[in-house]
Amino acid sequence: MTKALLSAPPVALTIAGSDCSCGAGAQADLKTFGALGVYGLTAITCIVSEVPGRVELVAAVKPDVLRSQIRLLFQAYPVGVVKTGMLYSRALVRVVSEELADHLGTFRLVVDPVMVASSGDPLLKSDAVRAYEEELLPLADLITPNLDEATVLLGRKITTRRAMLPAARELREKFGAAVLLKGGHLRGREAVDVLASVGGEEELILPRLPQRETHGTGCTLAAAVAAGLAHGRALRPAIIAAKKYLHRSMAQQWEWRRGPNKTRALRHL
């Protein structure tokens, strides 16, 4: 039998934590990569025992374990895009920065600076923030902080839609990368994000969906952007497509609710 010659899918690497509920972290990234036609690789930073609304335990891998994963994957695969998620500690941020610096110019980097879970549980040690600022963020093509993460990076709170534009601009100037500042935590009838890039600042707006019990939306959005970049899209079109993908996914999500006698599966349509 003759093997058919098929064009290989682009390859993207996510460096992130493992979420046992598969709604966030590396599992969410892999689902997104697969749905968008990208072959996904993982370098796991932490094992996280969590479900929507609750983080019970975080166990970080040893730095050498993370370093080995990244090195081996770059040796074996044509990694076109890297997306980082939960890095947890200063030591792990440093490993990621060092390993990626050795391959600069061969891939594009999307950094989702995961610091706090949707439940409010911390996902980054306080001493790791400086390592992010000095070692990893300057390597990025795109940074995707939410308002809480932008507060940490800027040292002041961003609490209004009006404050998002100057905050995104300041982050871009500070780290030299495009910034997608996510405003999902703000109230209102619209979900507003701000993109700050070489073209200036602009609001990206979609209708806000009714209340959902979600976690991992930031992971999914950043992974979808990475998938678009892996397919060769320019940054802005990749972000627009990623926002639409996330919006569709949230509109059709499954939700499991435990009752007195059984668990019910509900789907939002």
Q: Does the annotation count 17 as an active-site position?
A: no
Pairing of strands 263-267, 254-258: antiparallel
| Catalytic-residue membership of 20 | no
The catalytic residue among 17, 183, 216, 228 is 216
Instruction: Point out which residues pair with 172 in neighbouring strands.
Output: none
Residue carrying structure tokens 């990623």 = 242
Active-site position among 17, 80, 183, 218: 218
Assess whether 218 carries a catalytic annotation. yes
Q: Given 14, 144, 217, 220, which residue is catalytic?
A: 217
156: Cβ contacts below 8 Å, ≥ 6 apart: none
Write the DSSP string, 141-163. SEE--BHHHHHHHHTS---SHHH
* Alpha carbon distance 140, 143 (integer Å): 7
Instruction: Spot the catalytic one: 182, 183, 228, 243.
Output: 182
Active-site residue flag, 214: yes
How many residues are listed for the chain in this entry? 269
Which candidate in 23, 219, 220, 228 is catalytic?
Answer: 219
Q: Annotated catalytic, 34?
A: no
Of the residues 46, 214, 220, 243, which is catalytic?
214
**Could you give the CA distance from residue 117 to residue 215 in angstroms, rounded to a whole number?**
8
Active site residues: 182, 214, 216-219
